[in-house]
Amino acid sequence: MDHIPKNHPRAESLRIRQRLVDGYDDGLVAREGLIAHGRGEAFDYILGERTTRLAQRSIKAAAAALLLARNPVISVNGNLAALCARQTVRLAAASHSSLEVNLFYDSPARRRKIASKLESAGAKRVLGHRRADQTELPGLGSQRRIVDKRGIAMADAVLVALEDGDRTQALAKDGRRVIAIDLNPLSRTARTADITIVDNAVRAMVRLAAQCIELAGKKESGLRRITDSYDNAATLGSHIEEIAKYLERAARNA
Amino acid sequence: MDHIPKNHPRAESLRIRQRLVDGYDDGLVAREGLIAHGRGEAFDYILGERTTRLAQRSIKAAAAALLLARNPVISVNGNLAALCARQTVRLAAASHSSLEVNLFYDSPARRRKIASKLESAGAKRVLGHRRADQTELPGLGSQRRIVDKRGIAMADAVLVALEDGDRTQALAKDGRRVIAIDLNPLSRTARTADITIVDNAVRAMVRLAAQCIELAGKKESGLRRITDSYDNAATLGSHIEEIAKYLERAARNA
């Protein structure tokens, strides 16, 4: 394979892409996960590849929701592990969340590899990779319904990143508070979640952990005020409007 | 691997994705090509997954340009071969173009596989996969400058689909008329090409072949009127505005 030309104007994007490709070679990422990453790249591009003020508002609500939860769980798939295992482990610590491996294209070998990757990044305990601990989430077909008894099965809040719409809906219908990180503000996951952070997971994980640390000393009533005043549908609408404005500026400058 | 659930709302998109994944398993598609496909999926999504009237206008200009060219060449990479080999071969016949394999992530084995795929789809002659026929395009680093002596090296018009911006620029600077198929109207490829078809390659190839057949009997002066009256920058600007409007409607309905 060719190396990334240093003077290529999209070298940074190509380097992040390389992390995914490395993750694929290490058996963490599914082939379909490479394609899904590309979708994210495109939406990040039209967001201006930055954490917007709107996203920061969602991050604050998400941090409050994680701190309010009794059993928060971070659902980890191959892409998330390949892109930001360390940041994900740090967020789990900062928000007292469990980490559970959960895959769209299931494979026991890949589950184990993702768990190892999280452990190498400092995780003390990773759920979702032992067959004995598996149970089922209602309302989902095929392998995708499998969750961990000690994790998502008993979670009151679940953070999903780069997640499929079906599973997000199943979690929401089953009464969990769902926090999603999704670059596409039009996706079913974005619309179904209670709090959607429209941002690149790599950037969002770091900021979300920082926000959890900042809010850690706050009283429950204060945290509740943050989540109660957050309107996900309105925030998503504003995100879409911002993208439209960004594109209109780009069209004028084209 | 899991099968695609039949009732999944994005089953069609997942099926096309599956073709890419199959192309990857067959050695046609690079891992990076899977990611690039995902970028295309996202832009197709915000275009409404249809060939717009604007795209149809570019397709007409592209057909005229191909028919006007003395040595038109269609540059074929792994994604294009995996997604629409047959349609690409049909376009080559309808436009009297040569087919040349040209890769961003070069590999002689992959070149040969792509050539075989095109031959199985009915191509009589495929360039770009014999070392003896290789020469270099000026202004490009690394392996990406290699082109076929009998193909792109002597082409006056080159059709690139799903192409990198660097190579598009090198072709344009070297005086070739460049026709690009690119779902991202903001990309360097889109902005650098003489005629950019902002559409999914799978759809565009079919329509472009049909347009070539329709225009085949037209006089050179008539074809020239079509290309002369086409304004690529204005068309791209209108595309971006259409996407912005589509998003604004989506925001209102969110």
Closest CA to A208 of A67, A37, A7: A67
Reported ipTM: the value is: 0.80
CB pair distance less than 8 Å for B240 and A251: yes
Percent of chain A with pLDDT over 90: 65
Query: Which amino acid appears at position B158 of this protein?
Result: V
Phi-psi region of B17 (alpha: psi -120 to 50; beta: other; left: phi over 0): alpha
Q: Where are the beta strands (DSSP E) in B144-199?
A: 146-148, 157-161, 177-181, 195-197
Q: What local confidence, expressed as pLDDT, does residue A2 receive?
A: 46
Closest CA to B132 of B105, B150, B159, B156: B150
| Each residue's pLDDT tens digit, A82-131 | 999 999 999 999 999 999 999 877 788 999 999 999 999 999 999 988 88
- The nearest CA of chain A is from the CA of B67 a distance in Å of 28
CATH code where residue B146 lies: 3.40.50.12640
What SS3 class is residue B154? Answer: helix
B225 lies in which domain range? 53-242
Task: Specify the pTM.
Answer: 0.86
Interface of B with A in 67-96 (CB under 8 A): none
Residue B14 domain-assigned?
no
Q: Is A237's Cβ below 8 Å from some Cβ in B?
A: yes
Q: Where are the beta strands (DSSP E) in B32-118?
A: 72-76, 98-101
Residue A29 domain-assigned?
no
Distance between CA atoms of residues A160 and A153, nearest Å: 14
Distance between CA atoms of residues A236 and A185, nearest Å: 6
**Taking residues A19-31, what's their average pLDDT?**
92
Give the Cα-Cα-Cα angle A45, A47, A50 (nearest 5 degrees): 95
Closest CA to B30 of A219, A154, A34: A34
Distance between CA atoms of residues A98 and A23, nearest Å: 22
Residue A196 domain-assigned?
yes
Residue B7 domain-assigned?
no
- The nearest CA of chain A is from the CA of B233 a distance in Å of 7
Residue B123 domain-assigned?
yes
What SS3 class is residue A120? Answer: helix
Q: Is A53's Cβ below 8 Å from some Cβ in B?
A: no
Phi and psi of A123, rounded to 5°?
-70, 135
- The nearest CA of chain A is from the CA of B54 a distance in Å of 15
Residue B133 domain-assigned?
yes
CB pair distance less than 8 Å for B42 and A39: yes
Phi and psi of A58, rounded to 5°?
-65, -35
**Taking residues A183-191, what's their average pLDDT?**
92
Residue-level pLDDT, tens digit, chain B, 254 residues: 345 666 666 666 777 888 889 999 999 999 888 998 999 999 998 888 889 999 999 999 999 999 999 999 999 999 999 999 999 999 999 999 999 999 877 788 999 999 999 999 999 999 988 888 888 887 776 667 888 999 999 999 999 998 888 889 999 999 999 999 999 999 999 999 999 999 999 999 999 999 999 999 999 999 999 999 999 999 999 999 999 888 888 777 76
CB pair distance less than 8 Å for A244 and B247: yes
Residue A91 domain-assigned?
yes
Q: What local confidence, expressed as pLDDT, does residue B1 receive?
A: 37
How many whole angstroms from its chain centre is CA B91? 11
Distance between CA atoms of residues B247 and B227, nearest Å: 31
Q: Is B250's Cβ below 8 Å from some Cβ in A?
A: yes
Residue A200 domain-assigned?
yes
CB pair distance less than 8 Å for B1 and A107: yes
Q: What local confidence, expressed as pLDDT, does residue A1 receive?
A: 37
Structural domain total, chain A: 1
Q: Is B19's Cβ below 8 Å from some Cβ in A?
A: no
